[in-house]
Structure 1
């Protein structure tokens, strides 16, 4: 005896229709655009070229990473090792600034960027001053003695014309930074679920939370806002993810390029279907 699949298909279609209608009536909230390592889909990450491209595109902030060189200078680079993004090798902590400045940080991305150099943080601060905000991530500060103090001292002496924020995954270093520079907004990066009971204690030293987008929910954002946190989501690359984050009401979206949500009714209507592509592939297999 064959069982008709029509009721199941009708149920799926009705569910998709209701999901589309529900999705359509959720407003797209405004957000601050944050360029992940600069406009890193369009220029080599964490270089002046990427930061200039982000400014050209109108991002509200650039996000960058810092590590300490052998001679205790703040270098703008994501990885501990220079191999992925330069023509050199070795750990940043084992190289002096003079050695780092000889490396080509652009050719790996495109021949058009051959000769691009790894910048120092003070060079970036001077270059983008007054043009855009900056979010500085301290990379592994717990393993680089003195980084937090050096960064706080630099920002105190620089007195920038634009807004600067500092973030890290390491709670104790963010606490220390807040004690050293309470006037500069500090934030925590989160890659796992946060116990809501900790929000009150985190608010003593952090004013924003940068959260992996898969961990975010409307209820979490509402709870965080009650404590006065701003919520940033990372790292967004697909158009429907922008829409999801806007509908959740995040305050900032960290992304690699200039992608934005088109204000067309057609896009809003098809977004649930884009999100369900994997489901349909499984269904039709």
Structure 2
């Protein structure tokens, strides 16, 4: 069955595919603006006060919680028979006091006569708070006693919705809109709060939290408008989706927390009393620990403050300690090698390839040059996407003093190592001079080692880069004959659309990953601004050049191509004219166009690099022929890939 074609031989499926990628890119740009990066503070939220040490929801428990380092007091509110708001968890008196009966059927005076410390039992089996005058406090008394303390007030649902308006009125009366969170397990209880107190933060009940949980699993959360301001979730949860039951799923994973931060949501986890679990949750990056034991949470945080770069997030120093020490050793004991390593690492820089590829293509071998150029752009684009997938640090991000070069992207995989393996490996395959294999392998290894010496990469960055580069070379060996045969059968329009579609595919993948990382803050001391590495421009540059390369090839084919043969005078003249154009497009437009990450900035970057690609591959060679510095090639040869 033939696919319908448009003018120029472009099949509808290609146009649909290109449109789909463009739609993904546009959708990513239409995401809500990222919030400011979160800081490293963690809220210790005293669950009913320090209820592991004192009667829950009492002034004694709240006082003790603050003394133990709690930063937020969490409490539950019920309503009495005479419409007073009291702080107590249950809707009956039986479990926590020496009284019985429903709170909704008891007056405030009757509640005040009860002993709220009666039922509290300590670890030794004693009842230290009995008969000590511990009473059930009113919410007004709590507001008066702790005027500057942030609070989370849960609206209990057992007594019905009559409790909602009195709580709203009391928050207004005490002007606590800025430092309280109103929470509930029911959306119906929170809706009036959100309408009447728009500046008061609210939690998101289970239905809303589940909605977010599923959206972040599917990656569609960036386009969602959260109804609340924070997520209060358990550490694990059993999720039922129709006939599917997912048992004990970890809720606050690092990805879950990043997704929440992307939407400006805090993540608080309840009820966490085990120090090991506290560590695990802080590794994931949660914002608050709801606990019965504020002293335990404070001890965990103090331990992390003393031993880590950041309280929140994994212990990156412990993971990389040996490799950081190795880099320090290389720079201190073998510092005389640093100038050599800086020279070697230049052989993997963008600037080097921007010089080497045109020289090869214009003056030595168009056949070799175009294939090396394609490999360069594909490996560079793929590398930028993979870095966003893994989002790992570099040595210089953890210890800035190790940085002997400037870098602005993530660590794994090393771009220098991957590009060197892919490009020099492809060169060896194309030249079929196997005696070159050993020195080229040595060069690949030396470029990788230079990155370790200069504090730019860890060992796993280098190894993964080499592995991916080797896979690209293998793919080139296995697939290039088929791809070139397919390419030769395509119309000019199809060739352009192919390269543009591949470039958009790279950008679409990177755009989705950049959206996932927005609002993320690793607090690496050598990376003051995370936006430096969470940047779509790293992918737009090679993708734009790839699109320009396709356009340049088609233009070159239309005039019969060019040959690299000629006198050295002609070859040097080509280089002079060619590099003048490269500088005009690359540096000249770079000085005029904005260099940020806004949609217009990235569009102009794409255009600038596309012009560079089209100039190098097509426009400059056409000019060489017109000026008599080169001769047209065999049209049949030109119709193929270079």
The TM-score, its normalising length taken from structure 2, stands at: 0.35
Q: CA deviation at 1:124?
A: 0.6
Runs ≥4 in structure 1, deviation > 4 angstroms? 198-202
Task: Within 5 Å, give how 1:98-137 maps onto structure 2.
Answer: 98-109=109-120, 110-114=127-131, 115-130=133-148, 132-137=149-154
Which of 251, 265, 269 aligns to 1:229? It is 265
Counterparts of 1:126 and 1:139 in 2: how far apart (Å)? 21
For the structure 1 residues 42 and 235, does the alpha-carbon distance in structure 2 shift closer, same or farther, using more than 3 Å as the test?
same
Counterparts of 1:171 and 1:192 in 2: how far apart (Å)? 8
Q: CA deviation at 1:146?
A: 2.1
For the Cα contact (< 8 Å) 2:177–2:200, is it kept in 1? no
For the Cα contact (< 8 Å) 2:178–2:200, is it kept in 1? no
Q: For residue 5 of structure 1, what is the aligned residue in structure 2?
A: none
The answer to whether the aligner puts 1:213 opposite 2:249 as a matched pair is no
Q: CA deviation at 1:157?
A: 0.8
Q: CA deviation at 1:148?
A: 1.1
Task: Within 5 Å, give how 1:183-262 maps onto structure 2.
Answer: 183-190=199-206, 194-196=210-212, 197=215, 203-204=226-227, 206-214=228-236, 215-257=251-293, 258-259=295-296, 260-261=299-300, 262=303
For the structure 1 residues 192 and 183, does the alpha-carbon distance in structure 2 shift closer, same or farther, using more than 3 Å as the test?
closer
For the Cα contact (< 8 Å) 1:33–1:253, is it kept in 2? yes
For the Cα contact (< 8 Å) 2:71–2:150, is it kept in 1? yes
For the structure 1 residues 192 and 175, does the alpha-carbon distance in structure 2 shift closer, same or farther, using more than 3 Å as the test?
closer
Counterparts of 1:208 and 1:193 in 2: how far apart (Å)? 9
Larger Rg: 2
Q: CA deviation at 1:58?
A: 2.1
Q: CA deviation at 1:90?
A: 0.4
Aligned length: 235
Counterparts of 1:193 and 1:227 in 2: how far apart (Å)? 13
Q: CA deviation at 1:235?
A: 0.4
C-alpha RMSD of the superposition: 2.4
Q: For residue 459 of structure 2, what is the aligned residue in structure 1?
A: none
For the structure 1 residues 158 and 38, does the alpha-carbon distance in structure 2 shift closer, same or farther, using more than 3 Å as the test?
same
Mean Cα deviation higher: 187-196 or 54-63: 187-196
For the Cα contact (< 8 Å) 1:30–1:246, is it kept in 2? no
Q: For residue 175 of structure 1, what is the aligned residue in structure 2?
A: 191
Counterparts of 2:136 and 2:191 in 1: how far apart (Å)? 28
Counterparts of 1:138 and 1:61 in 2: how far apart (Å)? 17
Which of 129, 146, 158 aligns to 2:174? It is 158
**SS of corresponding position for 2:54:** coil
Counterparts of 2:75 and 2:63 in 1: how far apart (Å)? 13
Q: CA deviation at 1:201?
A: 6.3
Q: Which has the higher helix share?
A: 2
Which of 150, 153, 163 aligns to 1:147? It is 163
Q: CA deviation at 1:112?
A: 3.5
More contact order relative to length (CA 8 Å, sep ≥ 6): 1
The TM-score, its normalising length taken from structure 1, stands at: 0.76
For the structure 1 residues 228 and 195, does the alpha-carbon distance in structure 2 shift closer, same or farther, using more than 3 Å as the test?
same
Counterparts of 1:211 and 1:202 in 2: how far apart (Å)? 19
**SS of corresponding position for 1:232:** strand
For the Cα contact (< 8 Å) 2:209–2:231, is it kept in 1? no
Q: For residue 481 of structure 2, what is the aligned residue in structure 1?
A: none
Q: Which has the higher strand share?
A: 1
For the Cα contact (< 8 Å) 2:81–2:103, is it kept in 1? yes
Q: CA deviation at 1:111?
A: 3.2
Which of 88, 93, 100 aligns to 1:89? It is 100
**Unaligned regions of 5+ residues in structure 2, if any?**
1-39, 121-126, 237-250, 308-314, 316-642
**SS of corresponding position for 2:115:** coil
Alpha-carbon displacement from aligned partner over 1:31-51 (angstroms, at most 9, x marks no partner): 111000001111110000001
For the structure 1 residues 145 and 53, does the alpha-carbon distance in structure 2 shift closer, same or farther, using more than 3 Å as the test?
same
